[in-house]
Amino acid sequence: MHEKRSEIAQLGEFGLINKIKQKVSLQNSSSLLGIGDDAAVIDAGDDCVLLSTDMLLEGIHFDLSYMPLQHLGYKAVAVNLSDIAAMNGKPEQITIGLGLSNRFSVEAVELLYEGIRAACENYNVDLVGGDTTASASGLVISVSVIGRAKKEKIAYRTGAKVNEIICVTGDLGGAYMGLQVLNREKQVFLSDPSAQPDLEDHEYVVGRQLKPEARMDIIHELADLNIVPTSMIDVSDGLASEILHLSKASNVGVKLFEDKIPIDNNTFDTALEFKLDPIVIAMNGGEDYELLFTINQTDFEKVKNHPDIHFIGHTHDNANQNVLISKAGTVVPIQAQGWKHF
């Protein structure tokens, strides 16, 4: 009698996480929040410690044929710090786990750590340890980050209320289009190794892919303005996927407006060049690492003139109705088609 085999792809990443979460119980009173947000929350007296881990695997998350090792080191740190930003916290320490196959030289590892150190300096974070091991194939990078926040300042995914304003930082879709450009140039190179990469008109989107930044600048500015977002998440898997996480966790519906979603001109033009719809890319692209959050209407006056915070919609009381209002006024249900890991 064969046991039934379930495919991970059928559950998807979030289904798998939920399955694991259901069977995990927290035994320590200091564990305030476990699985299910951007970071775990641990009681540390007056403050809370925030803890998050991310893995990047060669061939899944990055391609070394166009990802310089310094950029990879920087990105590995930045995307992890973004999870602490998404809790409205401040990152302080990281540890790095490395799996290396024998095709990596000491010099290659030094290049990788050059990028890691640059990110640590930029974000004022200390590298305090880690582990290095052999890998059977390719490069594996695991980053754990420890951050800190006051209990009352933490922004969970669960805190959005009805009739709040939905905000997003920066612009969306750029990283995905950068990936399309890099993949296209790789194919050109594979068919003609003497061809020079043509990235001239695509510096912005390529930069969004190769060197993303955690939006700690926004976290500091919100603190200066005395605003605590009611809920927050970082946009790693695409706006549609993330807004549905907030909707589900907070049990509110969301209404977004297509004409309010920020798309850079270079992203827009590159999408058209690839015969893709810019708004579909902005909704589903992923890897932008911008912050998506909700604020109380009373805080709107404080941020209404901020050049890099965009007001893209509002929450409402029907948690099953998550819609995008198109420029033509049609109501489109929001569906997550973003990055799928399995």
Are 333 and 235 contacting, i.e. CB atoms less than 8 angstroms apart? no
Domain with CATH 3.30.1330.10 in the chain: 35-153
Query: Does 342 have pLDDT greater than 50?
Result: no
Query: What strands lie across the sheet with 322-325, from one edge to the other?
Result: 231-235, 290-295, 165-169, 309-316, 253-257, 322-325, 331-333
Tens digit of each residue's pLDDT (9 = 90 or more) over 19-60? 776 777 777 887 776 777 778 888 898 899 999 999 999 998
153 in helix, strand or coil? Answer: helix
Supply the pLDDT for residue 338. 52
Q: Which residue has the higher pLDDT, 3 or 90?
A: 90
DSSP state of 58: B
Which CATH number is correct for 35-153, 3.30.1180.10, 3.30.559.10, 3.10.450.50, 3.30.1330.10? Answer: 3.30.1330.10
Are 267 and 206 contacting, i.e. CB atoms less than 8 angstroms apart? no
Tens digit of each residue's pLDDT (9 = 90 or more) over 121-149? 999 999 999 988 999 879 999 999 999 99
CA distance 200 to 46: 51
Q: Which residue has the higher pLDDT, 326 or 32?
A: 326
Number of H helices, E strands in the chain: 10, 13
Are 84 and 91 contacting, i.e. CB atoms less than 8 angstroms apart? yes
CA neighbours closer than 13 Å in the CB half-sphere of residue 310 = 18
Domain with CATH 3.90.650.10 in the chain: 165-333
Which CATH number is correct for 165-333, 3.20.20.105, 3.30.450.20, 1.10.3720.10, 3.90.650.10? Answer: 3.90.650.10
Tens digit of each residue's pLDDT (9 = 90 or more) over 155-211? 999 999 999 999 999 999 999 999 999 999 888 888 888 777 777 789 999 999 999
pTM of the model: 0.92
